[in-house]
Amino acid sequence: MGDDAIFYQDGDAVIPTINAQGPWDAGAQHGGAVAGLLARAVEQEPTPVPMRVARFTLDMLRRVPVKPLAISTEVLRTGKRIQTVQAELHDGDILVASAVAMLVRTGAGFDMSPYRQPDVPLPPPPGSAEKPLAFNPRESMPEGFPHVVEFDRVVGSYRGGSPSKTWVRLLVPFVRGEETSPLVRLMALADFTSGLGAFLPYDQFVSINPDLTIHVLRYPTSERICVDAETWVDADGIGQSKARLFDENGLCALSNASVFIETRARY
């Protein structure tokens, strides 16, 4: 239904549009869509004091179909300093994806300026690459989530492995008629950790991350997120990806993902 958002709300149900679709299976949702949807559910859960997500771990337990799914949340632990929330997606009686978020109280107001912290330089700004990114998802991928993301590779080349620094931005609201929150934006775009650091030919290999963990230093303050990604793959078809995630003001999160690799001929 339409292409002006990734999901739309219909009563209590959240309905995926074609923009939720992933590149490997026309009937399955992209990991970024799933991550953002469960982050949104976590964010809607009340907390006893002001808190924000410090860690978010997503497990894609099965193929997540492009259809209305039941979303549930449960507070696993609550307190004045830490709250743990689990969010789940069900296709009927089948659990297809689950996320656990750890929220930590905010508002301490410490002055960190006198203390030395690691020097993490900002990536080159958007639009600074000498050559445009040789990647247009509308030409190389079926309809779906990558079509509603803007890619601006400022270091490295597409499928060139490391170094890989790419600014990404959602081009449509995550949910129609709703402002996309910084947390939902971060989680949805963090799923590109595995893809943007990849080096295997897209037309020969399938590369899927069945999980994703993001440690959040702070919520992003800009629409664009830079994914500074690396991916390693072993001969048995198991890989790992990691990334530093930046907004336009500096480092905001770290992400890690496991990667399943298969040739397209065998997938």
Specify the pTM. Answer: 0.93
What pLDDT does residue 129 have? 82
What pLDDT does residue 241 have? 96
What pLDDT does residue 6 have? 97
Measured CA to CA, the distance from residue 163 to residue 153 in angstroms comes to 10
| Block residue for tokens 């009340």 | 46
Residues β-bridged to residue 65: 28
> Residue 28: CB partners within 8 Å, gap ≥ 6?
21, 22, 63, 64, 65, 66
Q: Which of 139, 256, 238 is closest to 194 using CA atoms?
A: 256
Angle at 49 between CA 46 and CA 54, to 5 degrees: 80
CB 125 within 8 A of CB 154: yes
> Mean pLDDT in the chain?
92
Write out pLDDT tens, residues 4-32: 999 999 988 899 999 999 988 889 999 99
In this predicted structure, the answer to whether residue 50 has a pLDDT above a threshold of 70 is yes
Write out pLDDT tens, residues 150-209: 999 999 887 888 889 999 999 999 999 999 999 999 999 999 999 899 999 888 998 899
